[in-house]
Amino acid sequence: MADKILLLVDGHSYAYRAFFAIPKLTNAHGEPTNAVFGFLKMLRKMADDFQPTHWVVAWDTGVPRERLKMLETYKAQRKPMPDDLRAQLPVIREVLDALHVESLEQPDCEADDIIASVCRQAGDARVLIATADKDLMQLVGDRVAGVRLLPQGNVLVDCDGVRERYGVPPEKLLDWLCLTGDSSDNIPGVPGVGGKTAARLLDQFGGAEAALARSGEIANAKLRAAIEQSADRIRLNRALMALNATLPVLVEWDRWRCVEPDHARLAVLFERLGFKSLLEETQRQARRSPQEELPLN
């Protein structure tokens, strides 16, 4: 077993999931709190399930300029973030600070690329990626697994899990995405090519570029024409969906270590938010380990 188990959380992915998973929840002042509550519950559940030694949350920041240069309509179909969710993001960050969970961000970069850059530098640590974004499943390998939240609880997605879900192993997922596109990011794929057809093509040719080079071997005339006419789209999709693992992100194992939270600060936050059960719990924990409490700022 690896000495280090690093839980990498896709912050906006889980904030959205928490916001829509929990019915409207407010504190005594009428301020929305459902995303904060849901995010915290999911984070604690993953900590219980997987016992990470280190954890960090990566956040999207600003505009993904490089991808927008390639495709002006990148993510253009997405609705603006709900105001009630936007108002809760700083509060989620406050709670993370009190838990001593570091937040990572880079100007005008997406969390996907931050997570890929951390994975590249993680050495022999076991890395668990918590996200709803299938792009990040490209990173799954011997020491990297995805975390998938299902109704029955959290499950780890290994190489076999990626193959079971998409029909291809992680190292071919980018080629699969080149062919299918990604509707969640407003990236069109080859017309008429869905997941199963893409998997069959990759099984036959090994890669999307090879399918282009050997398109004459595609028996179905309509599919052959679609592939040949989509050469530029396939290559653009590769540039758009390839993860950038070269961001200047510094892996700080000491700062990312799972340690005792700041119970006093959490108590103040939970009282403000109206999280009575969590307030009682953190007060009990503070009484058991008062030497670990940090002074309020």
132 close to 17: Cβ distance less than 8 angstroms: yes
Q: How far is CA 223 from the centre of its chain?
A: 33
- Place domain 5-166+244-292 in its CATH homologous superfamily: 5'-nuclease (3.40.50.1010)
- Virtual CA dihedral for 283, 284, 288, 292, nearest 10 degrees? -30
Indicate the domain borders of the chain: 5-166+244-292, 170-241
* pLDDT 10s digits, 121-134: 999 999 999 999 99
Q: What confidence tier does 295 reach under pLDDT thresholds 50, 70, 90?
A: very low
71: tokens are: 């495709």
* pLDDT 10s digits, 237-272: 999 999 999 999 999 999 999 999 999 999 999 999
175: tokens are: 């080629």
170-241 matches 5-166+244-292 in CATH topology: no
Q: What confidence tier does 289 reach under pLDDT thresholds 50, 70, 90?
A: low
Query: Is pLDDT of 294 > 70?
Result: no
Strands 5-10 and 126-130 come out as parallel
Directed axis angle between helix 195-205 and helix 173-180, to 10°? Answer: 130
Query: Is pLDDT of 152 > 80?
Result: no
**Domain 170-241 coded CATH 1.10.150.20:** yes
Of residues 83, 86, 91, the one with CA closest to residue 36: 91
- Residue 169 pLDDT: 98
- Distance (Å, rounded) from C-alpha 216 to C-alpha 55? 49
Residue type, 228: E
* pLDDT 10s digits, 65-108: 999 999 999 999 889 999 999 999 999 999 999 999 999 999 99
